Chains A and B, each alone.
Chain A
Amino acid sequence: MTAWRRFRGHPPGLIGLGIVLVFVALAVFAPVLSPYDPNAQDLGSAIQGPSAEHWLGTDQLGRDIATRLMYGGRISLLIGVLAVSIGLAVGVPLGILAGYYGGWADLAISRLADMMFAFTSILLALTLVAVLGVSLQNVIIAVGISVIPVIIRLVRSSVLSIREEPYVEAARMLGAGDLRIITRHVFRNALTPVLVHGTLSIGVSILLAAGLGFLGLGVQSPTAEWGTMLGEGRQFIFSAPHLTTFPGVAIFLAILAFNLLGDGLRDALDPRMRSVDRPAG
């Protein structure tokens, strides 16, 4: 468990992990932690500041903001994890094919990745949502597809260098087939960068989905979603800035947490990268 020991000795990574765990706990136990229904309107107590009754105040429809943030965390975490799962499920096999076999497979797959890159992630997600229609499922698909090209490039470049390693050569000389080499050697050794990047991508996906929500093209009201809350609170920015401040803090902290966690994992799992980015001396 040297990786865990290295991770433990890296405070930022631990802080990231801590924040992620807090967000997960808040999302899971939201019904226990809050007496309010996230969608229950109470126009009599609309747009109140923080108080003992409503810790983070209420929004324009009198809904409890703290409660909506906890339930919104469910949506954001769900989007982040599922979108990255889509990205990995499609990107990893394609990246391995391109890196391991080279030639036409590489040319075709790399071109596909280039095309998706050319859209840039926000435009790709925006266009897909525009075409597919706005819903939670389509937001997850759109954000997931925008993760794919990053994973393809990452896995391809790792596999390119792994392919030349002596242990792959040795396995081949011992008569191992492509499938066996890929599953037992290539995949296993490409796992570290994938894990690190997958973690970072969860944060990026949450950011992207919240951006769609902010533009009114993400998860739709009344479902509590951080970006949508921020976007809808915008019209009250001058009179009641807490409507945007608290969702903003939530999005910021979630992304910061996954970034810190990803950095920590990289330092713990890949000592070679550590020597460059965070020298021990």
Chain B
Amino acid sequence: MTGTTAHIVRTLLLSLITLLGVSVLIFLMLRVLPGDPARVLAGLNASEEQVSRLREQLGLDESLLSQYWSFITGVLTGDLGQSARTSRPVASEIAVRLPATLILAVVATVIGSVVGVTAGVLAAVRRNSLVDHAISSVAMMGVSMPVYWLGLLLILLFAVTLGWLPAAGSGEPLSIVLPAVTLAAFSTALISRMTRASMLEVLGQDYIRTAQAKGAAPPTVIVKHGLRNAFIPVLTVISLQFGALLGGAVLTETVFGWPGIGRLLVDSIGARDFAVVQGIVLVYAAAFILLNVVVDVLYVVVDPRIRY
């Protein structure tokens, strides 16, 4: 097990380096901007006085290195700066909207995993049948669908024409249905394609034939022998998709007026409120990196063959 521990420590170290690099990239992106970063960070409507106060706050007369140092120590103590639009701390702006995005991403991931894995297994087991062709075709369309257009189509059908579900906002419990389904569409399609390919490979293995020859019931063979072994690449896709969903939420939240951090990001870019942009990108990146570490550790748990 020492090998496994060493691997996890190594993964953690590399992730820490990546996270540090991301913070440097975000920091530099805003500082290499043409013009005065204080003016940019303060926003378009800031007065001369506000700009000079911010310049002092940011210590822009100091060296780049010491500026980064105060930025990163601020981040580590939960201080992400101040929003130019609302004058509230960026951290609390994000904290208020983060739950909405997380709920959306979690529900979409659950939909994507359950529907995607089921469809993928079905397509693989009934390979080259009508069911397989139908599932594969729908999946192909799913990975080609612009999420914002799908959202609009679903609004037209379920909110306008049928009147079953609310078109936008987050006021009612049912409000989450359309955005979650929209957001889940791409992942569902991708997960089903991955599951199908992975299952086909596994179902061709000798141990599957052995299990069948021993007289194991088909469902047992498919789930216990097939899916369990086919699950590693599927797990990778599911976890990467969760990260991508956080990003994809930017578009979905805009279509449905969902009050998450994706929409906050778009609004902040529109208002050139770069302190908030910086904070959100940092939070997203940290979440994505953390997720990758968790998956890496999960591999060892799910697949006993993996030992480092």
A residues engaging B (CB < 8 A)?
Answer: 12, 111-112, 114-115, 117-123, 126-131, 203, 207, 210-211, 214-217, 227, 230-231, 234, 237-238, 241, 244, 247-248, 251-252, 255-256, 259-260, 263, 276-277, 279, 281
Interface centre among B153, B200, B269, B272 (most CB of A within 10 A): B269
Contact partners of A203 in chain B: CB under 8 A? 144
Instruction: State whether A217 touches B288 (Cβ < 8 A).
Output: no
Q: Which of B141, B145, B281, B288 contacts A127 (CB 8 A)?
A: B281
Nearest to A120 among chain B residues (CB) is B247
Most buried by A among B14, B25, B149, B197: B149
Residue ID in chain B nearest A118 by CB atoms = B285
B residues less than 8 Å from A256 (CB atoms): 140-141, 144
- Contact partners of B82 in chain A: CB under 8 A: none
Point out which of A118, A131, A263, A277 has the most chain B C-beta atoms below 10 A from its C-beta.
A118
Pairs across A and B, CB under 8 Å, 17 listed: A12-B140, A118-B19, A118-B22, A118-B285, A119-B284, A127-B26, A128-B29, A129-B269, A217-B266, A217-B269, A237-B152, A248-B152, A252-B145, A256-B141, A259-B140, A277-B200, A279-B128
A215 and B201 contact, Cβ closer than 8 Å, known pairs A118-B285, A256-B140: no
In contact, A120 and B152 (Cβ under 8 angstroms): no
Give complex CA distance A113, B30 in Å. 20
The answer to whether A112 and B146 touch (CB under 8 A), given A122-B251, A248-B153, is no
Of A118, A119, A252, which contacts B146 at CB under 8 A?
A252
| A255 contact set on B, CB distance < 8 A | 144-146
B270 A234 Cβ-Cβ under 8 A: no
Residues of chain A within 8 A (CB-CB) of B33 are 131
In the complex, are the beta carbons of B22 and A241 less than 8 A apart?
no
Q: Which residues of A contact B254 (CB under 8 A)?
A: 214-215
When the two chains form their complex, are residues A244 and B149 in contact, meaning their CB atoms are under 8 A apart?
yes
Specify which of B197, B266, B288 is in contact with A277 (CB 8 Å cutoff). B197
Using known A-B contacts A120-B243, A276-B200, determine if residue A126 contacts B146 with beta carbons closer than 8 Å: no
Contact A234 B152, beta carbon cutoff 8 Å: yes
CB nearest to B40 among chain A residues:
A131
- A111–B17 CB distance below 8 A: yes
Q: Are A260 and B140 in contact (CB under 8 A)?
A: yes
Chain A minimum-CB-distance residue to B254 = A215
Given A119-B285, A126-B265, A241-B156, check contact A251 B250 (CB 8 Å): no
B148 interface residue per 8 A CB criterion: yes
B42 within 8 A of A: no
B181 at interface (Cβ–Cβ under 8 A)? no
Partner of B22, one of A119, A130, A279: A119
Contacts of B272 in A (CB 8 A): 130
B285 CB to closest chain A CB, in angstroms?
4
In Å, the complex CA distance between A89 and B14 comes to: 26
Contact B156 A230 (CB under 8 A): no
Determine the chain B residues whose CB is within 8 A of the CB of A217 once the complex forms: 266, 269-270
Is B148 a contact partner of A130 (Cβ separation < 8 A)?
no
Asked if B248 and A122 sit within 8 Å, CB to CB, the answer is yes
B201 touches A120 (CB 8 A): no
* Chain A residues with CB under 8 A of B265: 123, 126
Are A112 and B144 in contact, with the CB atoms below 8 A? no
Report how far A115 CA is from B21 CA in the complex, Å: 7
Q: Please, what's the 1-or-0 string for B122-161, where 1 marks a CB less than 8 Å from any CB in chain A?
A: 0000011000000000001101111111001101100010
Complex: how many Å from CA A123 to CA B288? 12
Q: How far is the CA of A214 from the CA of B152 in the complex (A)?
A: 12
* CA distance in complex: A261, B29 (Å): 36
Whether A131 and B29, one on each chain, are in contact in the complex, defined by CB atoms closer than 8 angstroms, is: yes
Contact A238–B160 (Cβ < 8 Å): yes
List A contacts of B17 (CB < 8 A).
Answer: 111
Query: What's the Cα separation between A224 and B274 when bound, in Å?
Result: 29
Residues on the B chain within 8 Å of A215, using CB:
250-251, 254, 266
**B144 x A123 contact (CB < 8 A):** no
A281 CA / B204 CA spacing, docked (Å): 12
Q: Does B289 contact A (CB under 8 A)?
A: yes
Extra contacts, 19 of them, besides A115-B285, A276-B197 (Cβ < 8 A), are A111-B17, A112-B21, A114-B18, A114-B21, A115-B18, A115-B21, A118-B18, A118-B289, A119-B285, A120-B284, A120-B288, A123-B247, A123-B285, A126-B269, A127-B26, A214-B146, A217-B266, A252-B145, A276-B200
B127 to chain A: closest residue by CB? A279
Q: Evaluate contact between A276 and B201: CB separation under 8 angstroms.
A: yes
Q: How far apart sit A120 and B292, CA to CA, in the bound complex (Å)?
A: 13
A122, B140: Cβ atoms under 8 Å? Answer: no
Whether B302 sits at the interface, judged by CB under 8 Å, is no
A residues in contact with B140, CB < 8 Å: 12, 256, 259-260, 263
User: Quick check: B29 and A279 within 8 Å, CB to CB?
Assistant: no
**Do B156 and A237 have beta carbons less than 8 Å apart?**
yes
Give the docked Cα–Cα distance between A229 and B248 (Å). Answer: 20
Given A111-B17, A123-B281, A276-B200, A211:B149 Cβ within 8 A: no
Chain A nearest Cβ from B85, distance in angstroms: 14
> In the assembly, what is the distance between CA of A276 and CA of B202, in Å?
10
**How far is it, in angstroms, between the C-alpha of A115 and the C-alpha of B274 when the chains are bound?**
20
